[in-house]
Amino acid sequence: MSDVKLRYSDVDLQEFKGIIEKKITRAEADLALLQSSYRNDSSNGTDDTSHSFKSFDEGSEVMNKEANVQLAIRQEKFIRDLKNALIRIENKTYGICRVTRKLIQKERLKLVPHATLSIEAKRKQ
């Protein structure tokens, strides 16, 4: 009998599901923080600042907003990837490398739960 596993057990999949759900919760909180920072929901307290400092501050503020928008875009992609991983768990295809069709190492999935490539496949890229 072959000892090669074709997929992770239901117990393993539930463990990964818990890890992913925690990461989604944290990522969504981080995304909300980023979005509030570039939507200018709160006053920066520069209403009574000297005009010479205010113009410098406004330029810096625009740069910070642009950086936060880029971070928010990356965070949205991360959340989408995590949710796609949950779908793969439900389909029982989670943890299977899309190139080699072998199981991705459990340690890798614990660190990068949205991974779809094994280390072997990643190195070939």
Q: What is the mean pLDDT of residues 45-58?
A: 54
Tokens in use for 2?
């072959």
Cβ neighbours for 124, distance < 8 A, ≥ 6 positions apart = 99
DSSP 21-90: HHHHHHHHHHHHHHHHHHTT-S--S-TTS-HHHHHHHHHHHHHHHHHHHHHHHHHHHHHHHHHHHHHHHH
Backbone angles phi, psi at 112, to 5 degrees: -130, 75
**Does the pLDDT at position 8 exceed 90?**
yes
- Is residue 11 helix, strand or coil? helix
**Does the pLDDT at position 58 exceed 70?**
no
Please state the pTM of the whole predicted model.
0.78
Average pLDDT score, the chain: 86
Contact criterion met (CB below 8 Å) for 82 and 114: yes
Band of pLDDT at residue 1, cut at 50, 70 and 90: very low
What confidence score (pLDDT) does residue 49 get?
53
Contact criterion met (CB below 8 Å) for 95 and 110: no
